[in-house]
Amino acid sequence: MIPNTRRGHEGSVLKEQWRRVVCEFSSPLILVFLSTVPALSAELRLAIDGVRSDSGELLIGLYDDAHGFKNAIADAGKRGLAPDSSRLVGTAIRAKRGTQSAVFTQLAPGRYALIVIHDENDDGRLDENFLGAPTEGYGFGNDARRLFSAPSFDAAAITVGDTDVSAFITLTYPHAPWAKDDRE
């Protein structure tokens, strides 16, 4: 009996064609799957120290670029941090005297600058005097400070890699507490 080599050849050709179809189909699927897997991310744990009263709330803004950070500072006295479209993440928490904390999760590796405002009178913004100087508590990432102006993005930026990071901000209050704060 003579073996059918044509049939064996057809089978191997079909196998090769099937392998090509599977490879052509699966390559895009693998790329789609890999693009849906989240990038490395980490948490930024923020401790806000020196909250002087239980009045109002703490407004917190996290910025990933210098332009947005600069605009937030410029607008903090006019409209606060809440309606800020250049902010990456923002939150507000009720103020409690002492130290409070917030956690920002799933941050991609990068540099992030923080702004915290203690809005003691709950008007949603940083109150200022007639010269434009703050009259409520405020602070920046890295406890960055400047004498007559707000710090730069670079000074207030915290680098987040692929592991969790802790940051601390001590609030600055430009005037003595209100009389009602002394009773609390």
- Burial string for 5-43 (b: 16+ CB within 10 Å, else e) reads eeeeeeeeeeeeeeeeeeeeeeeeeeeeeeeeeeeeebe
* pTM over 0.75, yes/no: no
Say if residue 175 is in the same domain as residue 122.
yes
Say if residue 46 is in the same domain as residue 16.
no
**Domain of residue 67, residue span:** 42-183
CATH number at residue 160: 2.60.40
Closest CA to 112 of 90, 93, 88, 91: 88
In angstroms, rounded to a whole number, what is the distance separating the alpha carbons of residues 160 and 164? 7
pLDDT band at 180 (very low <50, low <70, confident <90, very high): low
Say if residue 20 is in the same domain as residue 108.
no
Say if residue 31 is in the same domain as residue 51.
no
Say if residue 83 is in the same domain as residue 104.
yes
pLDDT digits (tens, 9 = 90+) for 44-86: 999 999 999 999 999 999 999 999 999 998 888 888 776 777 8
Q: In the 8-state DSSP scheme, what is residue 108?
A: P
* Total domain count, the chain: 2
Which residues make Cβ contacts (< 8 Å) with residue 56, sequence separation at least 6? 95, 118, 119, 120, 121, 122
Say if residue 13 is in the same domain as residue 53.
no
